[in-house]
Amino acid sequence: ARERADEIELVADELIVNALMHTDGPAIVTLRILAGHQRRLRVEVADRSSALPRRREAGESGVSGRGLMLVDRLADVWGVEPRGSGKCVWCEFVMG
């Protein structure tokens, strides 16, 4: 986990900022280690908005729109799950 700590921190930060900027409620952040044939760290950010995040291409000078592109590049896998009246955006990092 140490060798990927910067990537994990950057991706978690992006998911949290997205949830706080694009919804009007709190966000719940969960980190879990998943066992299996590969150990993985799973980051989940749940909020009460049913609006799904969209990956947009940022313009040359655009600062916004890059968050999910960053998540897509740095995380091994990510996705969105509906949860009750809200959703959970999650990503996983293989820990080797």
pLDDT tens digit at each of 96 positions of the chain: 577 999 999 999 999 998 988 888 889 999 999 998 899 999 999 999 988 877 655 554 445 557 789 999 999 999 999 988 899 999 999 987
Could you tell me the residue range of the domain that residue 35 belongs to?
2-57+64-94
CATH number at residue 48: 3.30.565.10
Total count of domains within the chain: 1
| Residue 75: Cβ-neighbour burial (10 angstroms; 0-12, 13-18, 19+) | buried
Task: State the pTM of this model.
Answer: 0.84
List Cβ neighbours of 69 (8 Å cut-off, separation of 6 or more). 55, 57, 58
